[in-house]
Each structure stands twice: as C-alpha cells, then as structure tokens.
C-alpha cells in the first residue's frame, strides 16, 4: 500500500477459544482420481484467529490465499485437514448448516458487483440477508439505512442502484451488506486491491473502525504485504499453498526471516521515489529469482528454485515451521 496511513493493529485479543482454527488444511482441484493425484493448491496450512483479531493472509497470485478463503466459506471442497469455527467443526458442513452460519460468517470480495444485483436497489440488496433470517421488510429497510450511514453513505441511498455509485462507494456497500447481520468473522478477499490509493485507505480505516467497535474478527487476504500490515495483528505468508512464515505483523513485516517474505517486503511500493529506489536495490541484492524462472517440482521446499540459500537438503526435505525470533519460519537456513 503506497499511501500515508497510521497503522491500525487494534487491541491484542486474549482468549483460549479461537474464533477460527484451520489445521493441516489441504485442497486439491479436480474430481475423483484426478483430485487424489493432483498437486495440492493448499498444502497442510494451519493458523487460527482469536475473537477481535485480524489475521492477514498474504502471497503472490496462485499461492492459495483465495482458495483458503473459499474453503472457510464452504465454497470449495476440502481434501484434508479441519476448519473449526468457535469450536465447531465446519469442514464438511451441510448446506443447511451453512445457512445457519450465514449471519455469523460473512465475506467481502474484490469485485463489489459480485454481491450486488444491478437490477435491485441498494436497500433490497442489503435487506436480503435480513429477510432470509425472518426480519420484517420495514425493519430490514431501517437497518439497511442505518448501516449505510455507518459506512459513510447517505440513508437515502437505499433507493438507488449500484450503477449510480463509484467503485469505492460500491465497496462500502459490500462492507455494509457483509456486516448488516452482525457477524463474528468476516473474510475479506482482496477487498481493497481494485481501489485507488485514497479510497483504499478510506475503506481500510472503515474496516478497522468497525472491527474495534464491534469486536469483529477478520481474515484479510491480500497480495500487498503493506496493506496487510496496516490492518492485521498477525500475518501468514504463503507460497504455492504452503506457509513460509507466520507471526506478529510487526515481526513478519519489519524483520522478515524467510527469503520469500524479504522479497515481498522489498517489492511493496512506497510513494517516495528515493525510498522506492532503495527498495528496488535491496530486492535485487537478495538474489531471489523471479517466479517465471522457477518451475514447480514436487518434494522439498517449494521456494528452493528461487531461493539464494537453497542447498541439496532443500530439494529433498520440506522445511518444518520453526520458531525464529517471534515468528515461525519454514526454512532450513533462516
């Protein structure tokens, strides 16, 4: 994120029962035998989110970030591992069970048009999840107006259509729709990546304010580690479906230990040309090869073909997550 904002990490949660716990999650695409032998899009990923906490999931395109979000939301079949929500196993929840969770577990996606029917007024779109939960039309309309005001839009917007709003305003409406049922956990999948920098900062501040007011938990998925750093208390770094580094946001972004995390931080854009040039020089000095130069190969560390620290050990043994400082790092030599 390349705009001047004040970090909003929020309070540090203190609880023994996670809001969400993902353990050894595996997702493979395909059906039948093909799925059983296909490479894992998500390969034994584990993390948890406490009540009131934001965990950032960051990585390059194709790293499995969105696949994890879809698995949590029940939009992608899980091949292995477990997903627990407030102590309940929802890994293979039925459609009826997912409907019951609909008010507690919500999502904000990159494209606001995906959740807004262009033929419906904003009020109708916002009231729909309330109506499905048995709330009367008049009460749902009042709640829709209240929620629009809370996200910085006029109450009379309930009678307008999505095409009458800018991209940033439509994303605010998507946030309002996600939060109108007072959920406990919100999955934000690239929720600000399509916005211009000033609008991006406004939406991030809105998400932080709502989290602090309502005690929300977020899984915040993004490819820009600076955006994740702004909102998250903890960060999980993915590469080709595996966790490379995980820990407190300040440690992972301020003192990254894994070569891939170091490259991500160095590649994050900043608005000052001199600092950007210094970052480019630092990135080049790391010796990390480009993604296009690396061909996927089974076994060992998935990052080894790009890593300047790689040895023969990296080709034969997948590094386990181990504590380095205050973070967990999957690297033999970090």
| Structure token digits, residue 277 | 């040039």
Last residue of a domain, one of 125, 158, 180: 180
| Structure token digits, residue 37 | 């032998």
| Structure token digits, residue 47 | 């993390």
- pLDDT at position 276, please? 63
Tell me the average pLDDT across 168-186: 92
Average pLDDT, the chain: 87
Question: How confident is residue 296, by pLDDT bands cut at 50, 70 and 90?
Answer: low
Alpha-carbon gap, residue 278 to 271, rounded angstroms? 12
Alpha-carbon gap, residue 152 to 266, rounded angstroms? 34
Question: How confident is residue 294, by pLDDT bands cut at 50, 70 and 90?
Answer: low
Same domain, 73 and 174: no
Same domain, 253 and 283: yes
Query: Which tops the pLDDT comparison, 272 or 30?
Result: 30
- Rounded to 5 degrees, what angle do the CA atoms 58, 267, 57 make? 5
CATH at 32: 3.40.50.300
Residue carrying the six token digits 């948890």: 48
Residue 17 above 90 pLDDT?
Answer: no
Q: Which pLDDT tens digit goes with each residue over 187-235?
A: 999 988 878 888 888 889 889 999 999 999 999 999 888 889 889 999 9
Residue 5 above 50 pLDDT?
Answer: no
Alpha-carbon gap, residue 58 to 237, rounded angstroms? 5
Q: Which pLDDT tens digit goes with each residue over 279-291?
A: 667 666 666 777 6
- pLDDT at position 3, please? 43
Question: How confident is residue 248, by pLDDT bands cut at 50, 70 and 90?
Answer: very high
Q: Which pLDDT tens digit goes with each residue over 47-102?
A: 999 999 999 999 998 899 999 999 999 999 999 999 999 999 999 999 888 888 87
Please tell me the pTM assigned to this model: 0.88
Question: How confident is residue 4, by pLDDT bands cut at 50, 70 and 90?
Answer: very low
Q: Which pLDDT tens digit goes with each residue over 136-169?
A: 999 999 999 999 999 989 999 999 999 999 988 9
Same domain, 167 and 226: no
Query: Which tops the pLDDT comparison, 3 or 83?
Result: 83
Question: How confident is residue 1, by pLDDT bands cut at 50, 70 and 90?
Answer: very low
Same domain, 142 and 205: no
Last residue of a domain, one of 158, 180, 202: 180
Within a domain: 13: no
Residue 310 above 70 pLDDT?
Answer: yes
Residue 268 above 60 pLDDT?
Answer: yes
Residue 130 above 70 pLDDT?
Answer: yes
Q: Give the other-Cβ count within 10 Å of 285's Cβ.
A: 10
Question: How confident is residue 275, by pLDDT bands cut at 50, 70 and 90?
Answer: low
Cβ neighbours of residue 333 under 8 Å, at least 6 residues apart?
309, 311
| Structure token digits, residue 25 | 């999650």
Residue 206 near residue 152, CB atoms below 8 Å: yes
Within a domain: 251: yes
Same domain, 173 and 145: yes
- Give the structural domain span for 258: 20-104+183-329
Same domain, 174 and 188: no
Q: Which pLDDT tens digit goes with each residue over 35-62?
A: 777 889 999 999 999 999 999 999 998 8
327-329, strands of its sheet edge to edge: 105-108, 185-189, 217-222, 54-58, 234-239, 242-248, 327-329, 322-324
Same domain, 134 and 206: no
Last residue of a domain, one of 156, 180, 204: 180
Cβ neighbours of residue 20 under 8 Å, at least 6 residues apart?
48, 49, 72, 83, 84, 85, 86, 185, 217, 219
Same domain, 95 and 156: no
Question: How confident is residue 2, by pLDDT bands cut at 50, 70 and 90?
Answer: very low
Q: How many domains does the chain have?
A: 2
Q: What percent of the chain has pLDDT over 90?
A: 57
């Amino acid at each position: 994120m390349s705009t001047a904002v004040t970090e909003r990490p929020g309070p540090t949660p203190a609880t023994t029962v996670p809001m969400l716990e993902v353990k050894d999650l595996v997702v493979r695409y395909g059906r039948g035998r093909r799925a059983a032998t296909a490479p894992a899009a998500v390969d034994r990923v584990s993390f948890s989110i406490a009540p009131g906490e934001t965990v950032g999931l960051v990585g390059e395109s194709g790293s499995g970030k969105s696949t994890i979000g879809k698995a949590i939301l029940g939009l992608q079949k899980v091949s292995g591992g477990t997903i627990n929500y407030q102590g309940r196993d929802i890994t293979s929840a039925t459609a009826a069970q997912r409907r019951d969770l609909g008010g507690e577990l919500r999502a904000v996606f990159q494209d606001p048009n995906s959740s807004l029917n262009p033929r419906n007024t904003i009020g109708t779109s916002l009231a729909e999840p309330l109506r499905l939960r048995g709330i009367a039309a008049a009460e749902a309309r009042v709640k829709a107006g209240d929620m629009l005001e809370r996200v910085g839009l006029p109450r009379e917007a309930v009678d307008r259509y999505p095409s009458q709003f800018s991209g940033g305003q439509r994303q605010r409406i998507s946030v309002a729709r996600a939060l109108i049922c007072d959920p406990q956990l919100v999955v934000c999948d690239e929720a600000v990546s399509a916005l211009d920098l000033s609008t991006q900062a406004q939406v991030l501040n809105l998400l932080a304010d709502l989290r602090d007011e309502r005690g929300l938990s977020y899984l915040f998925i993004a490819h820009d580690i600076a955006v994740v750093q702004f909102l998250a208390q903890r960060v999980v770094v993915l590469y080709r479906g595996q966790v490379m580094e995980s820990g407190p946001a300040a440690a992972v972004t301020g003192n990254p230990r894994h070569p891939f995390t170091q490259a991500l931080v160095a590649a994050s854009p900043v608005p000052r040309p001199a600092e950007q040039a210094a970052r480019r020089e630092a990135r080049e000095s790391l010796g990390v090869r480009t993604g296009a130069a690396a061909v996927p190969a089974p076994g060992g560390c998935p990052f080894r073909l790009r890593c300047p620290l790689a040895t023969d050990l990296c080709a034969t043994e997948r590094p386990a997550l181990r504590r380095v400082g205050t973070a967990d790092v999957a690297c033999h030599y970090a």
